[in-house]
Every structure is written in structure tokens, then in C-alpha cells.
Structure 1
Amino acid sequence: MDSAAAAPNAVPGTRTGEPAWVEHVMWWHVYPLGFVGAEVRPDSAVEDRQVEHRLGRIEGWLDHVVDLGLNGLLLGPVFASSTHGYDTVDHFRIDPRLGDDGDFDHLVHAAHERGVRVLLDGVFNHVGRDHPAFRALATDGPGATTADLFAVDWSGWQPGQPVPVGSFEGHDILVALDHATQATEDLVVAVMTHWLERGVDGWRLDAAYAVPPAFWARVLPRVRERFPDAWFSGEVIHGDTAAIVRESTMDSTTQYELWQGIWHGIADRNCYELAHAIERHDELLATFAPSTFVGNHDVTRIASAVGEGFAAHALAVLCTVAGTPSVYAGDEFGWTGVKEEREGGDDAVRPAFPDVPPVPTGAAADLLHAHQALIALRRRHPWLHRAHTDVVHLDNTALVLRTATDREAVVTALNLAPEPVVLPAADATRVEVGAGDLSEGRLRLPAAGWAVLTA
């Protein structure tokens, strides 16, 4: 494993940049409970559930991950929870619907044997209402040994009354932790180091935008002091992400602005919006390399968002602009699914997977091959991780991007129109992926075509 270079006389637990291995990693993002076909809203309490050894179903797809060219497994919640995984009741126990410690250790070992790193989803903004630490408050009130984990105004409270605690974004089952206390800080450090000791490579920090950056700035150096090679990417949906990274010491944040620019730009045939998002994306690189995606467990699948014929266009952008990319499992086959704002509205984008990868045909096979080719191109050019992108050509339905260093360049051309178009090739000399004819410095793309070229 590569390790991050530490500055001379650096304070333990600090570093001047992300771990060196991150430049080369690309993730396959899995929502485990859905993937293995577990019941997401069971009737039984966690303590009454029998262990179901289902994590091996993910292991059965690891060769597919490698065949795609990916080398990271980004796991959604795996800890014991009441329902969907984000209402944790025990951070130190694998959810019995998925398996046990042995199943988890086997999955991590199998991934590492294939050169695949593992990232865990850490839900540290809140816990489930059924978490024992919170249930203790209902009986013991402010005298509970876990009272410091939660911000509660106890004035006027009487035993038997509901505990007046904050929730996460109005979700009553999600009880907010108090990030000003030493107890919460110590809990999160203990959870992170426990699973890093078990072999994971880093953490996705769920709802990091809801947690004060100062909290992460206290927690992460303590974890890095023991695990300097760990990587931390926070889920940040809005706000000044560069400032959040600087203040929190997180290595990265999710790039929702780029995701929105890609799918709106393509779906609305408005390349200006996409170009604007890329220009904004470029501004972040002086501070960090964002975590980029065109699909995840919380959003409508890209094939549904932009149309199945344009999913490869979105992927071409993802694979040729800066960042640490992830592919949401199933997107490589063009699977569809629309997120809806209702109970169960995530189910369509979090389906059960078959025991073994399907053998696609037709358009699905073409999209799978596009994933393999674009990921391979990205792997051949790891400098894309922090390279800047220029917009070379722009109109409503056509876009040419040039991502480059002073020695190498990758050019991405998109045509969203129903007729062919001729575009500048930006000094590129060869079509690497996609369908395009290059002649005398001009690139002819077919209707709804795309291509990636190199100089």
C-alpha cells in the first residue's frame, strides 16, 4: 500500500494532501442491503433477527469489478440498523441481514486479494432512535451514561415524556448526535479505528454537510495518527466545499454540482449548464480532488435521468475530468430507476442483484464496453485525477473539453443533437473511445455521438 508523504516536523495525524493511492482508485458503489435482497423495512427488532450470511453475494461480483477496470469497493451502510442502514443501532456490529464479522472479514480479504480497496459508509451525524445509547435516555434521563452523546434541553422534562432531542432533516427515526461533546468525538474515533484495524481503507462520511467542520477537524487527525494512509470523503450536497475541506481536514467531498450539471446539461440539451459546472469544478482543484459520480444510491439512475442513449455521454465526462470517480453498481448495464420523494422512494434505485453478473446484449452490452474502455483510458492517464479542463467548443447541443497537463491531453467531444456535427479536435490526433472520424484537425461525430481522443 502506498502511504501519504508527511511534511517534515508535521504534527501527528496531519498531512499536506490525500494518500498517494487515491490518484489511482476508482470505486464501484454498492448499497449492500438492497444488493443482497434483504428486507429494508422488517417488522422485527434488530436484537431478534437471525444472522443471514448474504455478504458473499457481493464477493461473487468482485471479478466483475476488476473486469470493469475498477479497483475500489464503496460499500453503503453495513452496520446493524433498524431499517435502511442509516438509522444505526450498533456501529460495531455487522447488520444481521448481511451477515457477521466473519462474512465481512472474508469480503475485505477477497477484495484486497484482487487489488480492490474497501471504503465504508460512516453514519456519524445521527443514530437510529432504537440505538441503546438513546433508549437509555428515555429511562434514565440526564443521568444516563450516554446522555453526553445527544444535545437535549432537559429543563421541564419528566420521566415518561419523549426526550426532546433533535432529528436529522425532520426524520423522526434519526436522532442527531451532539458534535460539541468529547463523548461523540471519542465514539466516532473508536468506530473508525475499529474498522480500519479490520482492514478497510477509508470512510465515506454520510451527511457530512450537517456536521460542523470543526468536529471532523478534531476527529480525523486522531484517526490519521494511527492510520495515516486512510482516506476520508464527506457527503456534501451544498455550500462552500473548498472551505469545508480546509476547515474539516477531509480529503474530499461528493461533487453534486458536477453531477447535476452533467445530467441537466445532457437531459435538457443545454451544454452551457454542463460547461459552467465543469468550470466551477475546476476551481476546486487548488484545494482538493472531488469525489465524482453520475449515479449513487440517493439519485435517479443516470440512464433514466438522461435517456438510455446518452448514459455513455455522461460517463465520458466523468472519466475525463478531474476527481476520484465512482460507478454506481448496475449503471454499467444501463439499469434504470427513478427516485421518488415518498416512503420506499429509493427502492427502485437500490434493487437486488442476481448471484452472478448478467451477460448483456445490444445497447446494454455497448454501454458495458464503453465503461470498460473509458475506465481503461482513465487508468492509463492517472494525471487526470487533478488535471484542469478547458472548454474548447460550446453550443446548446455540442461540447468539446480538453483536459491536459503541459505534456499530455485528453479531449472529450459530445453531440446531443439528432444530426451529425463537425467539431474542433483541439490538437488531438487519435480517437481512443467512441465513434468519430478525425480528419485535418476536425472531428465528425454522428447523431447523438461522443468520442474521447488523445493528442
Structure 2
Amino acid sequence: MWAYETSFYQIYTLGFCGAPFENDGKLEHRILKVIDWIPHLKKLGVGAVLFNPIFESDTHGYNTRDYHKIDIRLGTNEDFAKVCKALHKEGIRIILDGVFNHAGRGFFGFQDVLEKRWDSPYKDWFNINFDGNSNYNDGLWYEGWEGNYDLVKFNLKNPAVADYLIDSVKSWIEEFDIDGLRLDVAYCLDTEFIKRLRRETDSFKSDFFLTGEMIGGDYNRIMSDELCHSATNYECYKGMFSALNSMNLFEIIHSLLRQFGPENWTLYKGRHLISFVDNHDVSRIASILNRPEHLKLIYTIMFGMPGIPTVYYGSEWGEKADKSQGDPALRPCFEKPQWTELTDTIASLCKAKNESKALNYGGFKSLLLTNRQCIFERECEGDRALVVINADEGSFHANFDARAGKGVDLISGKEIDFGGGLELSPYTAYIISKLQ
């Protein structure tokens, strides 16, 4: 699967393009801005763009009105087709946000129910009680996602709903040639719907990639050979920054051993979870870490551990934003991309991920672990990589069994000699490969 051998770049599309929060009904061709960023994506070395919602919606994209029409604030279907063609020309794949648990109040089917009540052919598309009332005083009650009544929950057990949504996906593949989907709130979706979506998308496009949003719990609920290929690794998202801020690397290494370690009982061995240090729903990592020197380290851990590393737009140059400022602060419009020393590091990490069989498919083995230092090994079919972290402000001498004495750091390109141990400067991050 192509997705296992690259890294993703996530764009919250409405924010990235500077669209107004409320759908003002005015056509603007903002989505074409993505084309201007393609040289940046190429230089960074990512292999796919994950677009958060792009279809016509009431406000933030997750309250969809029309699953067949690009949001008018972003442009037209023809505009997005042009974007997809330009990305594909440069070898960059396209993943869309599939919002299938719920629609917006402006969705045509729900509007029909509000108008025709019992006589609407769409009344069974949702979970409705005509004897109740809603927060919007509709004269009927309906189920909203987690109590949010601007998000009208679909009845996915209704074959007509599943038909409509899967036909929509088929149209996206036919019209835009998309390569995958992220399933929003996948932990809420009906399992049989996910199974059908996997079967159908496999038949539409043989290498089509499905991943799902999982906030917690067992990711195997939505991930298997019959379900999604992948799921969001929120456990290690929290574990990475928490371990660095508390100077307790045991926290993240324990999670990685639990998920991918060499024992037979590990949860996700052989699976490829979505790895991330921030996204459109959480504070940017540069605002969370107590020490800015740890930025390079946390990205090295993310790219070095098993999974599909995902970079959120703007964070590659260290942009800051806190969740307490509200979601719009996390989803800004940047005039143009920036490039910093951190971006250099992430570009090197993308290159390493693209070229290393060990980073793409290797197992996980801990070689050295203290509160402030860790070394772990990834190995696959003779290809090996050592991920080395010194989170301390002081130097550290690492003694560990690595079966070799020299290698090349894939981040800096420098030769590293660790025969007899490894001298680590403060805030060091290596991925050592080409071991001799």
C-alpha cells in the first residue's frame, strides 16, 4: 500500500483558503491556492495531501449540505479537479475527509423532512421523533452528534443512506481521481457501513486507502483487513508531548511497545496508524512543548516510530496556536509557506521515510531507555534504523547493544560512529541508517 511508504500533509481547507466561517453563498475560486503551494509540498517531500472537508456546508465543513458539490466558498468542482490533476502530476496523492456520521441542517434530505414531516421520503435517513422538539424549535426531535444539533446524525443502517454516501465516494473517485478517505468520527460509524465502504472502494480503485478518526479505545474496532487500513494514533500523540514535557520518555516508549513491540500480545503489530503531533482539532505542538528545543525531537520520534507521519500545515515552520483561542485560531490562512530550520529537519525526515524500508515496515524494539534518553530500533528484511533521542539539556553517553559501530544520520547526513557507545550532545535527535 502506497500510504505506508510516505508521509501526509494535512490542510484544513476552508481555513487554509481564507474562506469566511459562515457560508455566504458567494463563489470564490480559493481552492486554486493549493496549486501555488505545490513547490513547497515537493520540497518538503510529502506524498499525499489530506484535505479536511471541501464539500458544500453550513459553516466549518463538517455540517455538509451537498456531498456532490465543492463548497462555493472554495470554488467549483472544475477548480478542485484542476488542483487534483496538478497534485497528481507531481506524484502527490489526494485524501478527502469523509463526513458520513452526520450532515448539516442545510442538507437537502433534512430540509425535506422539516418541510414535509411524515411525508418526506428522507424521514428514515435520520433518527427522528415527531412527538418531540429540537433545540431549534423544529417541532420534531432528532439525534445530533454528541449533542451538537447543527450536526444531524445519519441512520447508517438505512440502505438508502449508505447507497447515497457510497455513490458520493464513487463520484469523487470518478471526478477527482482521489486516492483515499479519512473517516470523520469513525468511532461512531456503523461497522457494517465501514465494511461495505471498504469492499466498494477496493472495487472502485485497487489501492484506495481508508483511515478513520479514533480518539481512544481499541483501534481494531475500525481497523482490519475488512475495515479501515489505518486509524489516528491519539495515544501516541498525547504520549509524545507528555513524555517530553515531563522528561519521562518511559511514557511514549511504553505506548509504542504496547502497540508495536516484539511480543505476540502487542495490539497493532504490522498495522500502520496515522501519527501526528498536532492537527485541526488540537493546539499546535509549538504551543504545547515546554522547550522549543524539543520540536526537532518530537518530529524525529513521530517519523521514526511505526506509522504514517502527518504534518499539519504551518506546523512545519513552528507556527503556534492554542485550542483555548477557539478552533478558527488552529485553522488559519497563510499567505505563503515559510521555511525554517525546523522545516529543513522535517524535509530530511520525509526523505528518510520515503527511502527506508525499516521506517516503513520495520518492527519496534527498545534498545536504551532512561527518563531523558531513548534509542529504539526499526528493522525489516535486513534494513535497520536506530532512532536516537537525548531530550536533556546536558550531554549523555549512551551504551547500548546495536550490533554495529557506524552509520549515517538520515537527518544531517553525517557519519555517526557508535562503536563503544554514543556521545550525545544536548537535545540530540538522530535516525541512524546504513549501519556498518
Partner of 1:31: 12
Give the one of 23, 30, 38 matched to 1:54: 30
Partner of 1:438: 417
**SS at 2:196's partner residue?**
helix
Relative to 1, partners in 2 of residues 1:225 and 1:292: Cα closer, same or farther, differing over 3 Å? same
In the TM superposition, residue 452 of structure 1 has moved relative to its aligned partner by: 1.7
* Equivalent runs, 1:223-262 vs 2, <5 Å: 223-246=201-224, 249-262=227-240
Q: Is the 8 A contact 1:259 1:294 kept in 2?
A: yes
Partner of 2:271: 288
For 2:201, give the aligned amino acid.
V
For 2:316, give the aligned amino acid.
E
**SS at 2:350's partner residue?**
helix
**SS at 1:245's partner residue?**
coil
Partner of 1:408: 383
In the TM superposition, residue 409 of structure 1 has moved relative to its aligned partner by: 1.2
Q: Is the 8 A contact 1:262 1:274 kept in 2?
A: yes
Relative to 1, partners in 2 of residues 1:445 and 1:287: Cα closer, same or farther, differing over 3 Å? closer
Partner of 1:320: 304
Partner of 2:66: 90
For 1:336, give the aligned amino acid.
K
In the TM superposition, residue 294 of structure 1 has moved relative to its aligned partner by: 1.5
Give the one of 168, 193, 197 matched to 1:191: 168
**SS at 2:128's partner residue?**
coil
For 1:414, give the aligned amino acid.
I
Q: Is the 8 A contact 1:87 1:127 kept in 2?
A: yes
Partner of 1:371: 346
Q: Is the 8 A contact 2:112 2:120 kept in 1?
A: yes
Structure 1 spans left out of the alignment, 5+ residues: 1-19
Partner of 2:113: 137
Q: Does 1:452 align with 2:428?
A: no
Give the one of 25, 36, 40 matched to 2:21: 40
**SS at 2:374's partner residue?**
strand
* Equivalent runs, 1:296-375 vs 2, <5 Å: 296-306=279-289, 307-340=291-324, 345-354=326-335, 356-358=336-338, 360=339, 365-375=340-350
For 1:442, give the aligned amino acid.
G
**SS at 1:246's partner residue?**
coil
Q: Is the 8 A contact 1:437 1:445 kept in 2?
A: no
Distance, in Å, in 1 between the alignment partners of 2:197 and 2:270 is 20
Distance, in Å, in 1 between the alignment partners of 2:132 and 2:17 is 46
Distance, in Å, in 2 between the alignment partners of 1:451 and 1:436 is 11
Distance, in Å, in 2 between the alignment partners of 1:144 and 1:335 is 48
Relative to 1, partners in 2 of residues 1:161 and 1:437: Cα closer, same or farther, differing over 3 Å? closer
User: With structure 1 as the length reference, what TM-score do the two structures score?
Assistant: 0.88
Distance, in Å, in 2 between the alignment partners of 1:72 and 1:412 is 24
Distance, in Å, in 2 between the alignment partners of 1:419 and 1:139 is 68
Q: Is the 8 A contact 2:63 2:150 kept in 1?
A: yes
Distance, in Å, in 1 between the alignment partners of 2:202 and 2:188 is 22
For 1:239, give the aligned amino acid.
G
For 2:329, give the aligned amino acid.
A
Q: Is the 8 A contact 2:386 2:431 kept in 1?
A: yes
In the TM superposition, residue 229 of structure 1 has moved relative to its aligned partner by: 2.1
Distance, in Å, in 1 between the alignment partners of 2:209 and 2:168 is 15
Distance, in Å, in 2 between the alignment partners of 1:287 and 1:140 is 51
For 1:40, give the aligned amino acid.
F
Q: Deviations over 1:217-270 (max 9, x none)?
A: 123212322222211101111121124313861111111111111111112211
**SS at 2:323's partner residue?**
coil
Greater mean alpha carbon deviation, residues 437-446 or residues 95-104 = 437-446
For 1:381, give the aligned amino acid.
S
4+ residue runs of structure 1 moved beyond 6 angstroms?
none
Distance, in Å, in 2 between the alignment partners of 1:170 and 1:248 is 30
Relative to 1, partners in 2 of residues 1:148 and 1:348: Cα closer, same or farther, differing over 3 Å? same
In the TM superposition, residue 316 of structure 1 has moved relative to its aligned partner by: 0.6
Greater mean alpha carbon deviation, residues 256-265 or residues 212-221 = 212-221
In the TM superposition, residue 437 of structure 1 has moved relative to its aligned partner by: 6.0
Partner of 1:13: none
CA RMSD of aligned residues (A): 2.0
Partner of 1:15: none
Q: Does 1:163 align with 2:145?
A: no
For 1:353, give the aligned amino acid.
F
* Equivalent runs, 1:63-102 vs 2, <5 Å: 63-102=39-78
Partner of 1:109: 85
User: With structure 2 as the length reference, what TM-score do the two structures score?
Assistant: 0.91
Distance, in Å, in 2 between the alignment partners of 1:409 and 1:120 is 33
Q: Deviations over 1:153-189 (max 9, x none)?
A: 335789x843211111121211111111111111111
Partner of 1:173: 150
For 1:303, give the aligned amino acid.
A
**SS at 2:297's partner residue?**
helix
Q: Is the 8 A contact 1:137 1:163 kept in 2?
A: no
Q: Is the 8 A contact 2:407 2:415 kept in 1?
A: no
**SS at 1:412's partner residue?**
strand
**SS at 1:50's partner residue?**
coil
Q: Is the 8 A contact 1:321 1:387 kept in 2?
A: no
In the TM superposition, residue 453 of structure 1 has moved relative to its aligned partner by: 1.1
In the TM superposition, residue 284 of structure 1 has moved relative to its aligned partner by: 4.0
Q: Deviations over 1:197-227 (max 9, x none)?
A: 1211111111111112222112321232222
**SS at 1:86's partner residue?**
coil
Identity in percent: 28
Q: Is the 8 A contact 1:321 1:385 kept in 2?
A: no
